[in-house]
Amino acid sequence: MIVVMKVGSPEAEIERINSEFEDWGLTPEKIVGKHKVVIGLVGDTAALDPLQIEEISPWIEQVLRVERPYKRASREFRHGEASEVIVSTPEGPVIFGEHHPVAIVAGPCSVENEQMIVETAKRVKAAGAKFLRGGAYKPRTSPYSFQGHGESALDLLAAARDASGLGIITEVMDTADVEKVGEVADVLQIGARNMQNFPLLKKVGAQDKPVLLKRGMSATIEEWLMASEYVLAAGNPNVILCERGIRAFDRQYARNTLDLAAIPVLRELTHLPIMIDPSHGTGRAEYVPTMAMAAIAAGCDALMIEVHPNPAKALSDGPQSLTPERFDRLMTELSAIGKAVNRWQEPATVLA
């Protein structure tokens, strides 16, 4: 249920109403929007009558039921306003959200060694990326595939962060590693295979770093939003959703089916920012630019692109990784679409 307060409602009145809700056994959450304050009410509200709640204060404008099973993630919970996920990076905050430039995240599938991660970071930064991605802990289908260098790769990510000024996005697979990964990562990634790892979702929900929640490979949109609800319910409001392709019947030409329809669907259902990953979405470097452009045209808030200095030698996901040169060109191509939809920020020019 949400309680929409009138413009100019006194703070003391909002507090009084909230403590009344707490007395009823509900959890009120104050959401300060651009124009209005909304109180989100979570708990057993089924028996409550919205009209009766409206009576408890003359400052209440309206009381509405949230009909969706996911409450905090629903668009209604914020009275229609998009949320902004503000991520701090060495060069200042980057905002993910519907009314901000498309944020570009780029880097290799896995962190392989210091030289490659630092070199890639510098290259993608110069092309306009704001974040470096790269896995230290890799969720691989086969136990015989490269599993990532683990903890030592976190130090390499820290070195790349220092050398480039980029923010770091990296995956955490185990509840036991959340704190350690959070010391280096500016955003914690939950991979597709862990989208419904509920203990992990609760754990990242109980810490402060923003969370990038990838869609499970066979997850419905509702299951995905319910997974985000776990993070939000545990107290972390900073969740970014990432569509990375779903499994369909035809895997002959593309690894997955990138569900770009998820962009307008999510826009209607949730206030959370939307990222698109055309690298895992297609599995083929030659298809990545087209789908990246389509994603921006369709209104995504961020893109995740795999880039490797030598894709032929990559320890994971080489076939879907762009070379730094191709990534440079892609950024020029994306800028045309990004400018057309008024969502593009040129990289700062570095004077030699």
3-class SS letters over 310-334: CHHHCCCCHHHCECHHHHHHHHHHH
Distance of CA 236 to the CA centre of its chain: 12
Pick the closer one to Mn ion by CB: 135 or 273.
Answer: 135
For the segment 213-252, give every residue that binds ligand PEP (CB under 6 A).
214, 244
For residue 10, the partner it binds in Mn ion, ligand PEP, none, with Cβ less than 5 to 8 A by kind, is: none
Query: What residues form DSSP beta bridges with 239?
Result: 211
Write down how long the chain is: 352
H-helix or E-strand containing 303? strand 302-306
Tokens 């923010």 map to which residue?
A: 167
Encoded one letter per residue, x for contact with ligand PEP by CB under 6 A and - for no contact, window 139-178 reads: x---------------------------------------
Is residue 171 involved in binding Mn ion (CB under 5 A)?
Answer: no
Q: How far apart are CA 309 and CA 320, in angstroms?
A: 13
At closest approach, how far in Å is the CB of 173 from Mn ion?
A: 13
Pick the closer one to Mn ion by CB: 28 or 135.
Answer: 135
At closest approach, how far in Å is the CB of 175 from ligand PEP?
A: 17
Regarding beta strands 239-243 and 274-276, do their DSSP bridges make them parallel or antiparallel, or are they unpaired?
parallel
For residue 1, the partner it binds in ligand PEP, Mn ion, none, with Cβ less than 5 to 8 A by kind, is: none
Q: Do 262 and 219 contact (CB within 8 A), yes or no? A: no
Q: How far is CA 220 from CA 74, 117, 192, 217, 257, in A?
A: 15, 34, 12, 9, 13
For residue 100, the partner it binds in ligand PEP, Mn ion, none, with Cβ less than 5 to 8 A by kind, is: none
Nearest Cα residue to 156 out of 113, 125, 188, 119: 113
Nearest Cα residue to 269 out of 99, 68, 52, 97: 68
Pick the closer one to ligand PEP by CB: 205 or 281.
Answer: 281
- The DSSP symbol for 130 reads S
At closest approach, how far in Å is the CB of 280 from ligand PEP?
A: 4
For the segment 105-164, give every residue that binds Mn ion (CB under 5 A).
109
- Which amino acid belongs to residue 25? G
Is residue 109 involved in binding ligand PEP (CB under 6 A)?
Answer: yes
Pick the closer one to Mn ion by CB: 40 or 245.
Answer: 245
Nearest Cα residue to 343 out of 273, 274, 287, 296: 296
Pick the closer one to Mn ion by CB: 27 or 310.
Answer: 310
Pick the closer one to ligand PEP by CB: 209 or 214.
Answer: 214
H-helix or E-strand containing 52? helix 50-54
Q: Do 199 and 174 contact (CB within 8 A), yes or no? A: no
For residue 192, the partner it binds in Mn ion, ligand PEP, none, with Cβ less than 5 to 8 A by kind, is: ligand PEP
How many residues bind to ligand PEP according to rule CB under 6 A?
A: 9
The residue from 192, 213, 300, 307 that contacts ligand PEP (CB under 6 A) is 192
Pick the closer one to ligand PEP by CB: 191 or 210.
Answer: 191
Pick the closer one to ligand PEP by CB: 74 or 321.
Answer: 321
> Which residues of the chain form contacts with ligand PEP (CB under 6 A)?
109, 135, 139, 191-193, 214, 244, 280
The footprint of Mn ion (CB under 5 A) covers: 109, 317
